Amino acid sequence: MAFIGGGLNRPSSRDTAPGPRFVVFAIISIVCMYYDQRDSWISTLRYYLQATAYPVQLIVGAPQALWHWASELSQTREALRAENADLKRRERELSIAAMRFATLEHENAQLRALGQAMAPLVTRSQVAEVVSLDLNPLKQRLLLNQGARSEIFNGQTVVDARGLLGQTVRVGPWSAEVILITDPEHAVPVQLVRNGLRSIAVGAGNSGELLLPYLPVNSDVKPGDVLVTSGLGGVFPAGYPVAVVTGIKRDPVLLLAQVRARPLATLERDREVMLVWFDPKHPAAPATAAQAETLPQVTLGAKQERALADAAEGAAEEAAEPPASAEDAPKDPR
Amino acid sequence: MSLAAPRESRPLVYITALAGLLLTLLPLPQYLSIVRPPFLVLVILYWSTMTPRAGGIFIGFLAGMLLDVLQGSQLGEHGLALSFITYLAVRLHLLTRAKPIFEQSLFALVALLLYEAVLWAIDGWSGHPINNPTRWLHALTGAAIWPLVVGLLGRTHAPR
């Protein structure tokens, strides 16, 4: 590329036709896109580009950070005291809720015929600060100040104190980009807490909304239903709160209900988020194809095994349903 | 006034482009982010039109690749779109440069729409179709502030 840059300075370069130069750059761009799409050597290149981009991103995020810092400084004593009281109250509530948790978990393990108490699902967590945030109808992304140096990997689950936030999409050495669950390109497999109905929640492109476009008109959904991650799809573990259903439109002409939900995580106000690592052997860990094959080999009594196999068959059918309709729905607008 | 390019300073182009880049990336509230003009693209367009030898396709390509890295789009997406419209700007600079400012805004609008169209097409082909109509708003606001860009950047260099 140096010959092109250098050529610009020479007086004779006035005669250099812009056409060939454009063709060269267009070819470079297209080659880059081709390989970026196929996830090859270019991902290594991107890793380093991500590192070089980080300072710029820090500068861009600086005014916001400065603003937050200033507003934190200027917080009054009363406000801080109120916040403290609020936090103490929440801590008490949580500890009461957690009191029975250990017993319940043990009980659950026994019911699942696993015998011994299970190891905790979350093996490690890491708090990261939000460097900058990009929220518009086309893109809902966050940039975090932790990267591969903190062992963060691609496709890692990101949560805040209230619910699921998203997953990492691009990890640099010191930074990671997070795609939020409200991004129009993001979809998260969910399940209704009330009746276990599975579906897929797609980002609506504005930070207060998720859509569930693949539920039939007659499905049992009510406003106020809580959605949790279903653990399908191999990215998110099961059971993390995602959203609350806010509105349902059932048009008898359409096959599918139009369901809207509000994310529980406070997507646009978070200053700090949490990245979590899971124990892959835990039953609630995200199911990958490899694990799905090994799953039935849990040593059980013959009777239990048969019962489980029946249940698994039913579950598998149910599980296969949402993605199937997800593929069909856009093609068939009626 | 000769048509030969003035003694443009290349650092000036880079500095203004950097300013445009920062304005493009600055986090804004959602409602403002929808209508944020593509500042970097406007700056590149300006230099490609006024001093095509200081601006030009290389800078357009470079800026586009930077946008790709910083905004997390596919590597080469903005690179292609920006080098395409800088190519058009360089090609047509004799035509557009002498036009009244309003007509220049119209040219800018066409260029920005083409830019967005290239991005839209690439998004679609690469399997991330985003058909939200608000994505075209940037072109309108960008064309609307074109006179401002010309006014501001015109002060940074000697009149031709």
State the pLDDT at residue A130: 87
Q: Domain A125-295+319-325 maps to which CATH number in 2.40.10.340, 3.30.450.90, 2.60.120.10, 3.40.1280.10?
A: 2.40.10.340
State the pLDDT at residue A288: 61
Q: Is the pLDDT reported for residue A279 higher than 50?
A: yes
Mind giving me the DSSP string for A62-104? Answer: HHHHHHHHHHHHT--HHHHHHHHHHHHHHHHHHHHHHHTHHHH
Determine the residue of chain A that is closest to B128 in CA distance.
Answer: A185
Would B2 be classed as within a structural domain? no
Per-chain mean pLDDT for chain A: 77
pLDDT by residue (tens digit) across A128-138?
A: 988 887 777 77
pLDDT by residue (tens digit) across B8-67?
A: 577 888 889 989 988 888 877 778 888 889 999 999 999 988 888 776 788 899 999 989
Q: Is the pLDDT reported for residue B76 higher than 70?
A: yes
CB contact under 8 A, B30 and A136: yes
Which CATH number characterizes residue B139's domain? 1.10.1760
State the pLDDT at residue A113: 66
State the pLDDT at residue A321: 42
Q: Give the domain extent around B131.
A: 10-154
Q: What whole-number distance in Å separates Cα of residue A223 and Cα of residue A259?
A: 9
Interval B146-153 mean pLDDT: 91
Q: How confident is the model at residue A327 (pLDDT cuts 50, 70, 90)?
A: very low
Spatial neighbors of B116 by CB under 8 A, at least 6 apart, are: B81, B135, B136, B138, B139
CB contact under 8 A, B61 and A29: yes
B63 against A300, higher pLDDT: B63
B56 touches chain A (CB under 8 A): yes
CA A133, A134, A137, A138 dihedral sign is negative
A306 against B86, higher pLDDT: B86
Find chain A residues with C-beta within 8 A of B75's C-beta: 32-33, 36, 42, 45-46, 49
> Which ipTM value was assigned to this complex?
0.85
Determine the residue of chain B that is closest to A46 in CA distance.
Answer: B69
CB contact under 8 A, A28 and B79: yes
Would B4 be classed as within a structural domain? no
Cβ-nearest to B57 among A18, A136, A185? A18
- Nearest-Cα distance to chain A for B77, in Å, is 7
Residue A331, φ and ψ in degrees, nearest 5: -75, -25
Chain B interface mutation, best of A12, A13, A24, A25, highest count of B Cβ atoms under 10 Å: A25
CB contact under 8 A, B79 and A25: yes
Q: In A145-296, which ranges are E strands?
A: 157-159, 164-171, 176-180, 187-192, 198-203, 210-216, 226-229, 241-249, 256-263, 272-278
A223 against A293, higher pLDDT: A223
* Domain count within chain B: 1
- What's the predicted TM-score (pTM) here? 0.72
Are B104 and A42 in contact, with CB atoms under 8 Å apart? no
- Nearest-Cα distance to chain A for B52, in Å, is 9
Mind giving me the DSSP string for A145-166? Answer: S--GGGT--TT-EEE-SSSEEE
State the pLDDT at residue A188: 93
Would B57 be classed as within a structural domain? yes
Determine the residue of chain A that is closest to B32 in CA distance.
Answer: A136
CB contact under 8 A, A137 and B132: yes
Chain B interface mutation, best of A13, A28, A33, highest count of B Cβ atoms under 10 Å: A33
B58 against A290, higher pLDDT: B58
CB contact under 8 A, B87 and A13: no
